[in-house]
Structure 1
């Protein structure tokens, strides 16, 4: 059993700990050993959490004394370094914040700890959590464990790489336009962006743009992400966007009728044929699994450049905050934030137009989810790319690597819950994910579809050979 510990998901680890087949000390030590074994190649971990082994010993004592156990008792977890952890370095991918140690945990961290989880490490991110590649001047570049020459994406790239490589069974990432879903797809794990406000973002930096940031769980199984979500959801009295009680769920995950699934591959911009094929195969698999499945058309998605709209709606707010933080530290600013500083202001006309398009998108999905329970679509238009943010070539045409957000930014604009899981493999041996989207506050429906898809996935038990 010991040799397989780092291949087990968090739910199974919790079961084995509760039945005393594994000890918390054994489980935590196995993951610390795994970090020591592979992180020199991946560079996903930026800080080991002092006190993890002491916490494991306390968890073991509680287990042996018969105390009531939380659903994650003794299970290790990791946290993206933009999310505060009490007494543990949280440096936000920048030399400007080198040595920063928060006094309190972010709400999400506190809730996982309250469920018995043990923080073992913080994970890498782009500078200020703002790029599609995980690299910065303080802690360097993270590599994709499936192929070290490729990126795990961003901005939760360190978190996704750590989980994929077996350094952690469960983690907390954050998502503003792609940042849990894209890295999860690039590394073959599961990532969630819940309905906006469902999980409090208290203790996350940057705070702007507040209406688009999410904290979300990442793991190697759908059931782990669903469990973590159940622990994370609900208001904390500090995040004004988080006001809905966790018992509220308009989903049909327990309905006796077949799940109604619409699928499409037509988004604004390019799409790699391998990605399109993977979505089609996932749709077929859901049909075989008993879902009511049909291809759909949403013309607004083919007409809408969600990446550009997102950028225009948040650009001035984000740049203003970053300019204040970096004032006097210009020599410590990396490429990603420099690019933000170099963009022109959004005109009021473009801002208003962007708001109106966002409203039309929400109207479109309000109508769509009257007819369908979920939407199945691409996560990213192409698999993970090599390091360097070079243009991506699809069918002989070159495209910006930032178009990786084409199919995810849309659902950040609308606030719909969306998650990704792996369902395919590229010709280069890299994971290909699919995205499942549901109506607002209908996470149970989304999980129901994802669990069915996971059960029939042709790549369910694949792990990187690192």
Structure 2
């Protein structure tokens, strides 16, 4: 299996695992690594606008980490490695403003559980990254810190809601980061910028210290990176109960046998619909290419369908369920504030009619049917391979698309991602192709509940034969 990241790459394009190895062996110092990323931010961020706040103590923490290495102290798996964090995730003594003038200047006293765990593993908080207002849209734009741009093409979006995080990692401003995901928000941005991300099973990683505190039954926090091995490492650090988030209460894992020989016997189903909405032929071909690659590696692969997704369109179900819940969170956050402080999605959300009780109950029943449909699927298969987005990264501000001859609104970009949030299933986004315009195209690997290791190992196999591993948008 070929190495994902070459040690001949510049410091800012090394993955986190390589940086940790080089720091442990004293081939690099934490100070060198942090300085390289700060210089990268200074050079590129004015055009990309992925970083909204740089942690003022990052260099001092790096010096302390270097001193620990020189003393021979016991160190963690991310010792001396910088990481970035989406600006909806609390960071002690570092601004966390949630993309809104309402929270301008907000500085938490405590780290979110996920941030604290990254720091405990030796990671160095480098910066906070941009997002849409309240983490709520598929583009990262707001009144407080403006719009983030895709490093592959500045006229296009890096996605949302973790678009600043995806752009920062893709451009070499960060090797590793944390995003959140309500319906698409770590997987979509990863797909649009050519990096990798993991939305773990619901509750695997505590949401403590992340807006909104409630409701959070569809929300996830997860790692974003440039290699699958970094996702594995980060997930091992982030997962597990914290005694505060009741959804994060289980330590049980439910993986298939993924030893090297057993992995070749895993059963993979692939699909691009029906049940997800229209998909661009370039994206369809990328999913097919990934299915063929896994088959060539010796896995059992066949095309499938999931009838439950055809009966109940997950995006419609999700919209009926979460509108009432999120509207209340928005009302609380914006109470007593001027309308001038609100951006597009807050205004849109607050203007939507409430879901009727009849529709809400019917949507709850549909959600259960979707979960049951996935449960039935995973009785026969270990992994589902599909697309992340129906199209590559799009231009800024587009509200309607023609996809494979069908006109749809922008919410349809979530067609293949939102079912996992309804069901609470884990999913990985990873690049496996390139559009005719030179933009990344990603695939999504979906596992059964609490089976993260299964999809991480299959993703590693797919990564080993990928022809797009070491492509970067900016030299």
Normalised to the residue count of structure 1, the TM-score between the two structures is 0.98
Deviation at 1:253, TM superposition (A): 2.1
Q: Structure 2 residue aligned with 1:368, among 377, 395, 416?
A: 377
In structure 1, the partner of 2:306 is 298
Q: Which moved more, 1:100-109 or 1:266-275?
A: 266-275
Alignment match, 1:450: 459
Alpha-carbon distance in structure 2 between the residues aligned to 1:264 and 1:200: 31
Q: Which moved more, 1:165-174 or 1:311-320?
A: 311-320
Partner residue of 2:269 out of 247, 258, 262: 262
Match of 2:220 among 199, 206, 214: 214
| Residues 73-122 of structure 1 deviation map (CA, whole Å, 9 limit, x = unaligned) | 00000000000000000000000000000000000000000000000000
* Separation (CA, whole Å) in 1 of partners of 2:421 and 2:150: 25
Shift of 1:405: 0.3
**Pick aligned residue for 2:34 from 23, 28, 36:** 28
Is the partner of 2:156 in helix, strand or coil?
A: coil
Post-superposition Cα deviations, 1:106-154, rounded to whole Å, max 9, x if no partner, equal 0000000000000000000000000001000000000000000000110
> 5+ residue gaps in structure 2?
1-6
Deviates more, 1:197-206 or 1:290-299: 290-299
Structure 1 gaps of 5+ residues are none
Aligned to 1:340: 349
Aligned-partner Cα distance in 1 for 2:387–2:348: 27
Q: Which of 71, 74, 80 is the matching residue for 2:77?
A: 71
Once the two structures are superposed, the pairs formed by residues 214-253 of structure 1 within 5 Å of their partners are: 214-245=220-251, 248-253=253-258
1:156 matched residue in structure 2: 162
Distance in 1 between residues matched to 2:238 and 2:333, nearest whole Å: 29
- Deviations, residues 275-310 of structure 1 (Å, cap 9, x unaligned): 100000000000111211111121222343212211
Partners of 1:207 and 1:305 in 2: how far apart? 27
Name the residue aligned to 1:315: 323
**Structure 1 residue 429 displacement after superposition:** 1.1
Partners of 1:52 and 1:465 in 2: CA distance: 24
Q: CA deviation at 1:272?
A: 0.6
Q: Return the alpha-carbon distance in structure 1 between the equivalents of residues 253 and 27 of structure 2.
A: 36
Kindly report structure 1 stretches of 4+ aligned residues shifted beyond 6 Å. Answer: none
Root-mean-square deviation (CA), in Å?
A: 1.3
Q: CA deviation at 1:255?
A: 6.8
Distance in 2, matches of 1:441 and 1:289, equals 25
Counterpart position of 1:407: 416
Deviations 1:356-406 (A, max 9, x none): 111111111112112111000011111111000331122343211111000
Q: Measure the CA separation in 2 of the matches of 1:327 and 1:239.
A: 25
Q: How far apart, CA to CA, are the structure 2 residues paired with 1:30 and 1:66? A: 24
SS in 2 for 1:256: helix
Shift of 1:3: 7.1
1:385 aligns with 2:394: yes
Query: Displacement of 1:225 after TM fit?
Result: 0.7
TM-score (norm 2): 0.96
The answer to whether 1:357 aligns with 2:366 is: yes
In structure 2, C-alpha distance between the alignment counterparts of 1:275 and 1:351, rounded to whole Å: 33
TM alignment of 1:76-115, pairs within 5 A: 76-115=82-121
The 2-side partners of 1:35 and 1:66 are apart by 31
CA contact (8 A) 1:200 1:234 kept: yes
Asked whether the 8 Å contact 1:251–1:441 carries over to 2, the reply is no
